[in-house]
Structures are given as C-alpha cells and as structure tokens.
Amino acid sequence: MYFESHAHYDDAKFDENRDILIEETHAFGVDTIINIGADMESSQKSIELSERYPYIYAAVGVHPHDVKDMTDKDIEKLREWSRLEKVVAIGEIGLDYHYDLSPRDSQRYWFERQLALAWEVELPVVIHSREATQETFDIIKASNVRRGVIHAFSGSVDFARRYIDMGFYIGVGGVVTFKNGRKLVEVVQEIPLERILIETDSPYLSPEPVRGTVNNSQNLKYIVEKISDIKQISPQKVAKITSENAKVVFCNKKVVA
C-alpha cells in the first residue's frame, strides 16, 4: 500500500529492534522502503539492508553535514556502489546552512560533484536543503540532473512549482501534520498529487499524533491521512498515487517491485 521514499533504518536508534520493526512495517503495508545514505558508512549500511530485505532499496551519498571529510576516493566508491542492482539513487545530498557543520564552500563543491555523478550514472537524486533554498535550486538548475525528490520540502509554493517544472518531485513528511506546518500544507494544496512522494525520515520527524517518539514507516498512515484531508480524496488514492510516483522516480534503469 505505502511506498516509503526516505528512511534511515541503519540509524543507531533502531539497533535494539531493527529487524523486528522492519518486518512488522512490511506486514503493516509498507511495500517498499528506500533507505537513504547520509555518509559513507550509512551508505554502506543501506546497501547491506537492501541485500537483506527484498523490499528495501538503497540511496548512497554524503549529506552536507559530512562533506567536510569527503575525498575523491569517496566519489569513486559511490560510483562503484551505483552499479549495484539495488542502489536506486544518489542521496541525500545538498546544502544545509542552518547548522553549517561543513564549510559552505565544501558543501557547494561536493554537492556539485555528487550531482555530476548522478548524471553520469543515470540515477535520480535525493536532495537535502535547509536555509539554502535559492542556492540549492540554482546549483541543481545549473547541473544536468532533472530527476529526483526534494526531501522534507520546506520552500514556498513558487519554489515547489519551479522544481516540478524542472522534473522533480516534492517529499512530504511528518511536518505536514504539525500545527506550525501550514506552509507545507499550502504546498500540498497547490501542487498536483502526481508530484508528491511520502516519506517519514525515520527515525526523525514523527508526525502528529506520535510526535516526539522514534519514527518508523508505519507512521506514513498519518501523513497519507493529512494529505487525504487537504486534497479531499481517499487515503487509498493518496497511497496508490504516491506509490506510483515513487516508482517513476526510483525505477530509472532499476526494477523496484
């Protein structure tokens, strides 16, 4: 029923119950999970999870927090991993000017390098952008990449439309259920459902009414229910269309069940 487009089941928060939770989540109705790399170690772990579970696929890449430690050897390793059957995206990559855990020059440089890699290996991208809306957009526009998802979208309706016009999808997660999430609610109202992917960012950003707990993909139901309410269509239709959307994004030269 559900296609989880962004989760981090390699995270240490799942160490005590990872396998049980993943199996329960699949039985609950989460048909497919994209486990997202945030650095080289988590990218490797994402691949390992994808090899263990037929319904988990991997994205590999280095988050802007960690690009300060990137080297050309890491790009070569990402290129090698990208050839694996169950690696379906480069990500999450982008810019984060909120925490600035890596120098901004390094963030821009390695973002551009990873975008170039995604173009070379013909994979979509998973984009992280925080307090860098215009610059993230400009760097992507200057690249050749035109397929992927803007994860945890926090921009305006105008930027959402501009990304859609460029070929991208908008990632909608738990924030859409928050009382202070009206900006994202407006985006969901104004853009086509055919351009939305659902995501939890597990173990982070749990939606209402379970905000503050360790998130997992079973909570996609709350995100779907909120989108259903906003769009005034059935939750089943929201789940079906967003699942179809995710398959379009992540099936570039790969087969996702």
Statement: 2-250 belongs to CATH 1.10.1760.20: no
Selection from 223, 128, 219, 222 nearest residue 173 by Cα:
223
Domain boundaries, the chain: 2-250
Query: Which amino acid, residue 138?
Result: D
Tell me the C-alpha to C-alpha distance, in Å, between residue 78 and each of 33, 91, 114, 199, 218. Answer: 20, 10, 9, 23, 30
**What is the model's pTM?**
0.97
From the number of C-beta atoms within 10 Å of its C-beta (0-12, 13-18, 19+), residue 201 rates as buried
Count the helix, strand and coil residues of the chain and give each as a percent rounded to the nearest 5.
50, 20, 30
Looking at residue 256, what is its pLDDT?
Answer: 47
Question: Which tokens in the block code for residue 191?
Answer: 């853009």
- pLDDT values of the chain reduced to their tens digit, one per residue, 257 residues: 999 999 999 999 999 999 999 999 999 999 999 999 999 999 999 999 999 999 999 999 999 999 999 999 999 999 999 999 999 999 999 999 999 999 999 999 999 999 999 999 999 999 999 999 999 999 999 999 999 999 999 999 999 999 999 999 999 999 999 999 999 999 999 999 999 999 999 999 999 999 999 999 999 999 999 999 999 999 999 999 999 999 999 986 444 44
Q: How far apart are CA 89 and CA 38, in angstroms?
A: 12
Q: How far apart are CA 126 and CA 36, in angstroms?
A: 8
